[in-house]
Amino acid sequence: MRSDEELMLAYAGGDAAAFRELFARYAPKLERLMLRELYARDAASDLVQQTFLQLHRARLDFDPSQRFKPWLYTIALNLKREHFRRRRRRPEVLGEPGDERAGPSGSHQAFEARRSLAWALQQIPEENRAVIELHWFDGLSFAEAARCLGIGAVAAKVRAHRGYQRLRKLLGDDLARGEVGNPTGEFGI
């Protein structure tokens, strides 16, 4: 049986079977490592995959005079730390990934617009925010939103209108131009 270091050198030399052996040896261990703080198997699996992707990218940088296991675990732990840093930095945004109403996926400008809108929504009263979120983001009619909130449809429209006015003041011209909320500029105001 070849050592980890021998397998890594073989993989760097183009031996795909050596990579499969390293993956089989370390993927379960790395997944357990990731699960200790993540508690989400999907996220842990993603980080394991990213670890092996980084290993692939850095395969030619591996120093055969060093041990493989600490090198691999350093990659994994750095990715895990970065995962938690991103989670702390990233505010909650409205809409799901790929939600056309939330803006083009992956666009920095769309991300900033969603972040601004999320911030502004947190600044308005709950009674206005609830109607706007149910109507605009969840796609309910005013009558349906009103039923959910236990109010009349006219009251729901009034609350939404007042909420939209407050949002317009908070967000300024960005809202009127459609740079916040959705790419079409139809915010329902």
Co-location of 14 and 58 in the same domain: yes
- Report the domain count for the chain: 2
Nearby residues of 20 by Cβ (< 8 Å), 6 or more positions away: none
Regarding pTM above 0.85, the answer is no
Domain annotation covers residue 148:
yes
Nearby residues of 181 by Cβ (< 8 Å), 6 or more positions away: 101, 113, 117, 136, 175, 187
**Rounded CA gap, 7 and 55, in Å?**
12
Quote the domain boundaries for residue 171.
Answer: 100-177
**pLDDT averaged over the chain?**
80
Picking from 32, 56, 89, the residue at the C-terminal end of a domain is 89
Co-location of 38 and 61 in the same domain: yes
Co-location of 74 and 131 in the same domain: no
Do 58 and 75 form a contact (C-beta atoms < 8 A)?
A: yes
Picking from 89, 109, 131, the residue at the C-terminal end of a domain is 89
Do 136 and 187 form a contact (C-beta atoms < 8 A)?
A: yes
Co-location of 83 and 139 in the same domain: no
Per-residue pLDDT tens for 56-85? 999 999 999 988 998 898 898 889 888 888
Q: Residue 101 — pLDDT band, cuts 50, 70, 90?
A: very low
Co-location of 114 and 153 in the same domain: yes
Domain annotation covers residue 65:
yes
Co-location of 8 and 74 in the same domain: yes
Domain annotation covers residue 183:
no
Q: Residue 18 — pLDDT band, cuts 50, 70, 90?
A: very high
Q: What is the CATH number of the domain that holds 121?
A: 1.10.10.10
Residue 33 in this model has a pLDDT that exceeds 60: yes
Q: What is the CATH number of the domain that holds 21?
A: 1.10.1740.10
Domain annotation covers residue 59:
yes
**Rounded CA gap, 162 and 118, in Å?**
17
Structure tokens at 11: 């993989």
Co-location of 65 and 116 in the same domain: no
pLDDT for 174:
54
